[in-house]
Amino acid sequence: MEKFKLLTELVSFRDIKNAIFGSLLVLCGLILAFLTLWANRTGNLRLASIFAFLSLIFVVVIIVFILPPLVRNAAAETSRLDFPFEFTIGGAFLIGILIVVTFAALNTGNNLLFLILSVLTAAFLVSFFMGNACLKKLDVKMRFPDVAFAGKATPITVTLYNRKKFFPCISVLAEVRGVDRKRSLLAEELSKIFKIEWTDKLIKPPVIRHRLSYFVHIPRASSLQIGIDHVFENRGRFIIKDFELSTTFPLGFIQHRRRLSAEEVEITIFPKVVPLQIASLGLSSEAGKLEKLQRGSGSDLLMLRDYQPQDDLRYVDWKATAKTRRLMVRDYASEDRKSVQIFFDNRIIVSAQQKTQYIRHRIIEEQKQRPFSPISLRFEEAVSKLASLLYYLDHDQIETRLLLLDYVSEFGIGRAHLYSLLRKLALIEPKLIEPDESLEYSDKWMHELELSAAHNLFITFIDEQALPREVRLNTKILKF
CA distance 323 to 412: 47
CA distance 114 to 108: 10
* Of the candidates 225, 179, 174, the residue with the CA atom closest to the CA atom of residue 203: 179
Q: How far is CA 294 from CA 23, 290, 397, in A?
A: 81, 11, 20
* Of the candidates 188, 179, 181, the residue with the CA atom closest to the CA atom of residue 359: 188
Band of residue 358 on the pLDDT scale cut at 50, 70, 90: confident
What mean pLDDT is reported for the chain? Answer: 79
* Of the candidates 31, 30, 52, the residue with the CA atom closest to the CA atom of residue 40: 52
Q: How far is CA 37 from CA 11, 43, 44, 54, 433, in A?
A: 38, 10, 10, 13, 59
Does residue 288 surpass a pLDDT of 50? no
The region, left, alpha or beta by phi > 0 then psi within -120 to 50, assigned to residue 282 is left
CA distance 270 to 235: 5
Element (H, E) at 413: none
Q: Please tell me whether residue 2 adopts helix, strand or coil conformation.
A: helix
Q: What pLDDT digit, counting tens, does each position of 220-270 carry?
A: 989 999 989 999 989 989 988 889 999 988 888 888 898 888 888 889 999
* Of the candidates 137, 144, 178, the residue with the CA atom closest to the CA atom of residue 158: 144
CB 27 within 8 A of CB 58: no
- Tell me phi and psi for residue 347, to 5 degrees: -85, 140
CA distance 206 to 234: 15
Q: What pLDDT digit, counting tens, does each position of 44-103 carry?
A: 777 777 777 777 777 777 777 766 776 666 665 565 566 788 888 888 888 888 888 888
Q: What pLDDT digit, counting tens, does each position of 181-201 carry?
A: 777 666 665 655 666 666 666
pTM, rounded to two decimals: 0.74
Does residue 447 surpass a pLDDT of 90? no
The amino acid present at 20, given as its one-letter code, is I
Q: Highest mean pLDDT range out of 30-44, 254-268, 359-373?
A: 254-268
Q: What is the pLDDT of residue 290?
A: 38
Q: What is the pLDDT of residue 81?
A: 63
